[in-house]
Structure 1
Amino acid sequence: MCENAHMNNKPTIPDVREKQRAWINQIRDRFGETYAGIARKSGMAPSTVVRFMNDETATHSLSAKTEAKIAVAFNVEPAAKPALEPISDFNRVPVIGYVQAGVFQHGFSQDYSSEYVSVSPDHRYPNLPRVAFRVRGDSMDLLYPEGTIVLAVRINDLARAPKNGEKVVVIRQTNGDQEATIKQIEIKEDGKVVLWPRSSNPEFSAAIVLPSMADLVEMPDNGCRPEYWIEGVIIQSIRPE
């Protein structure tokens, strides 16, 4: 026997079958129908329900489609509504500032976060710290409407360059001041990198073209940052519906 069998709480087929049989009996008693009548009213052959209820040697359960037909025909809840598995291993991720998606914006980061979001672990990036930003404006609204929270991992922690199509937090440095935005990366065959806004607003359509990915992710030997660099890769977003 499997050593961890006691840890499996999923219902077995016999459990489901017995729930469905009790459910059909409730419908029969409530509406005064026979098993054949339940099947006909649900648009099925009588044998579908009759055999299921009367054949004690059968081991199958009703399909979700069959169960749904019966539930609709009699305006009742299904035999067992699917349960939502609770997620208990949430992590608290600090919201460290905001970005004006597609447009460079001052004041994107703050030293001490007073806001956190609770998110489940991301098993693609185990043990990597994540940070979050709020999105402002419509300059990236095709991907991130205003109010969206984006979660990112820093390039230094990720230890790889961004891939084609990924969305990134880009920093621009002018006169010692740093500004941030979100762009989507396109890597050309010649190695050039295009940073695209994704907006429904034609005002935000210009892309930034840079010679290579190295210019965006590698610290120069002299320790001086270039005008543009990538701070992090966006791995998740939380947005209002």
Structure 2
Amino acid sequence: MALSQGPENNAFMKKRGESGSGHKRAVVAFMKARDLKAADWSRRANVSSSALYNLLNDRSDTLHDATLKKLARAENVSVSQLTGDLDSSQSLTFPAIEVRGAVNAGVWREAAEWPPGDWERMYVPVAKPYKDAAFGLTVQGPSMNSVYPDGTILVCVSLYNYGRDLEAGDKVIVHRRSPEGTVEATVKEFQIDDTGHVWLWPRSNHPAHQQPIPMPNGKAFDDAALESDGDSIQISAIVLGSYRPEKKIPPALLD
């Protein structure tokens, strides 16, 4: 199973208080694990490559918060994952979650979730605070293929259960409902511009998925907002992690 996780992936994390020289130890381990090159990573993150080179060459032992955020965003991880600074409350459990539906831009359905009889169960690592609230969604189509290829499983939790403010770069589940009652479920990247307005961006190399969706009146949370065409739009959940199974597990093995 290929793994590309969000905040709960602690493959490179250490607990607070462990020894190490600033950020260097964790950043070097992170770069080695992902085969990252300083110049390319800096370019994609839109930061000065000298900041990374100074860290790697022992000219400094820390990175500025703004630099860390940009570097983390370029790799679709949290700053905590990048720096190895993990609160003990974020330790992992491996519960069974239900994959309840699909996200697919441009596809309108009668319901946002599949019938319960069609849900699929899978075991995934989830941070302890969300082990009872997490659920899965399958990515269909190319609207986020730069981050989540078709077939990726997203591990999500509702905004209500997440209990934190959204940050720029978070991946979120968006529901748009038509006046006729159909719903489009998609995954988008949450961004806030300099005026405080919220934009929901696709991350795709497909020409049909290059424009962001503006949140009407800049609304960011789980209250539905009305768009000019009469559709309502709502951010309903945040993506905690993502998984790409190589093979489907036979149902009998999950019982």
Instruction: For 1:127-146, list aligned pairs within 5 A.
Output: 127-146=131-150
Whether the aligned pair in 2 keeps the contact of 1:215 and 1:226 (CA below 8 Å) is: no
Whether the aligned pair in 2 keeps the contact of 1:168 and 1:234 (CA below 8 Å) is: yes
Unpaired runs of 5+ in structure 1?
1-87
Instruction: Look up the match of 1:152.
Output: 156
Look up the SS of the partner of 1:156 in the other structure.
helix
Q: Following TM superposition, by how much is the alpha carbon of 1:163 offset from its aligned partner in structure 2, in angstroms?
A: 1.4
Aligned residues: 148
Q: Does residue 232 of structure 1 match 2:237?
A: yes
Q: Following TM superposition, by how much is the alpha carbon of 1:177 offset from its aligned partner in structure 2, in angstroms?
A: 2.1
Instruction: Look up the match of 1:97.
Output: 101
TM-score by length of 2: 0.52
Instruction: Look up the match of 2:250.
Output: none
**1:129 to 1:239, Cα distance in 2 relative to 1, 3 A:** same
Whether the aligned pair in 1 keeps the contact of 2:106 and 2:184 (CA below 8 Å) is: no
Q: Following TM superposition, by how much is the alpha carbon of 1:127 offset from its aligned partner in structure 2, in angstroms?
A: 4.9
Whether the aligned pair in 2 keeps the contact of 1:150 and 1:237 (CA below 8 Å) is: yes
Q: Does residue 194 of structure 1 match 2:235?
A: no
Unpaired runs of 5+ in structure 2?
1-91, 247-255
Look up the SS of the partner of 2:161 in the other structure.
helix
**1:238 to 1:151, Cα distance in 2 relative to 1, 3 A:** same
Instruction: For 1:15-30, list aligned pairs within 5 A.
Output: none
Q: Give the one of 139, 160, 165 matched to 2:169.
A: 165
- Worse-superposed segment, 173-182 or 143-152: 173-182
**1:227 to 1:206, Cα distance in 2 relative to 1, 3 A:** same
Look up the SS of the partner of 1:217 in the other structure.
coil
**1:235 to 1:140, Cα distance in 2 relative to 1, 3 A:** same
Amino acid of the structure 2 residue aligned with 1:203? A
Identity across matched positions, percent: 29
**1:119 to 1:127, Cα distance in 2 relative to 1, 3 A:** closer
Distance 1:139 1:219 in 2: 22
Whether the aligned pair in 2 keeps the contact of 1:168 and 1:230 (CA below 8 Å) is: yes
Whether the aligned pair in 1 keeps the contact of 2:146 and 2:203 (CA below 8 Å) is: yes
Look up the SS of the partner of 1:117 in the other structure.
strand
Instruction: Look up the match of 1:114.
Output: 119
**1:89 to 1:170, Cα distance in 2 relative to 1, 3 A:** closer
Distance 1:177 1:162 in 2: 26
Look up the SS of the partner of 1:157 in the other structure.
helix
Look up the SS of the partner of 2:126 in the other structure.
coil
Q: Following TM superposition, by how much is the alpha carbon of 1:161 offset from its aligned partner in structure 2, in angstroms?
A: 3.5
Distance 1:118 1:233 in 2: 19
When the two chains are superposed, the root-mean-square deviation of aligned CA atoms in Å is: 2.6
Whether the aligned pair in 2 keeps the contact of 1:161 and 1:213 (CA below 8 Å) is: no
Q: Following TM superposition, by how much is the alpha carbon of 1:226 offset from its aligned partner in structure 2, in angstroms?
A: 7.2
Whether the aligned pair in 1 keeps the contact of 2:144 and 2:202 (CA below 8 Å) is: yes
Task: Please identify runs of 4+ aligned residues in structure 1 that moved more than 6 A.
Answer: none
Distance 1:119 1:165 in 2: 23
